[in-house]
Amino acid sequence: MSVCVAPVIFERFPRMRVIVVLAHDIDNSHAMPELADRLHSVWMQAAREAQPYGNAQSHPHIRPWREQFRAMGVSSKKFPSAIEALLRRVLRGDEPVSINALVDFYHTVSLRYIVPVGGFDLDALSAPLELRLTRGGDSFQALDEEEPYAVPAGEVAYASGQTILTRYLMWRQAKTGLLTTHTRSAVLVAEIPGTTEAELAATVCDSLHSGLERYFGVAVRSCILDSAHLITPW
């Protein structure tokens, strides 16, 4: 299963890097207390470290997303990035909610480095995964909707064929491709804004790669896509 990024995405988000981590033969059917404990620990750490900024949108890893979406005419207040929404919950004092082991795992990485991370069940996708702009004929089925609906053209989204898997990067995820306890093959993705240090992308990629190996005992493939590398090498 290849993953590719349309060139226009890097025009919209200069110097952004997209991390792609893929694994098969995952057992996501049972809870992992070690991961739940790790999530709680990282959650509390993120709250302490973000407190001086006063709110999620002022964090230096979140400001770039708001600025770039604002430049495209998209309201970050209405469509906050996934990490901003998560950090808002942290700063409100909410308790972490365990969803399943895979989601708990990528939330630990997301909060540890304050970057958006998401994931998709590869077996639920009918076509290769793309990060591109939405276009005519694309449809999206929200978690709380019974039927898919057409989305406006020009949104930045992950897609498989004409099925839109997320809206506005990782703002909202569709029913299609959700990681569940039945997931056996998964791809995790993370976006690193171009304004942050280049080393962060390598660090996050290594954390996702090594963490999948450690917690799930599976073989893992990973790479970093950018304007010079638009498709995974597998």
Q: What is the token pair recorded at 231?
A: 């498709």
Question: What domains, with CATH codes, occur in the chain?
Answer: 3-225 (3.50.40.10)
Residue 55 near residue 85 (C-beta atoms within 8 A): no
pLDDT exceeds 90 at position 70 = no
From 88-92, 171-175, 190-194, 212-216, the region with the lowest mean pLDDT: 171-175
> Tens digit of pLDDT for each residue in 17-65?
999 999 999 999 999 999 999 999 999 999 999 999 999 999 999 998 8
How remote is the C-alpha of 120 from its chain's centroid? 9
Q: Which of 189, 129, 188 is nearest to 164 (CA)?
A: 129
> Tens digit of pLDDT for each residue in 184-209?
999 999 999 998 888 999 999 999 99
CB neighbours of 159 closer than 8 A, spacing ≥ 6? 129, 130, 131, 132, 134, 138, 165
> Tens digit of pLDDT for each residue in 90-146?
999 999 989 999 999 999 999 999 999 999 999 999 999 999 999 999 999 998 888
Residue 205 near residue 222 (C-beta atoms within 8 A): yes
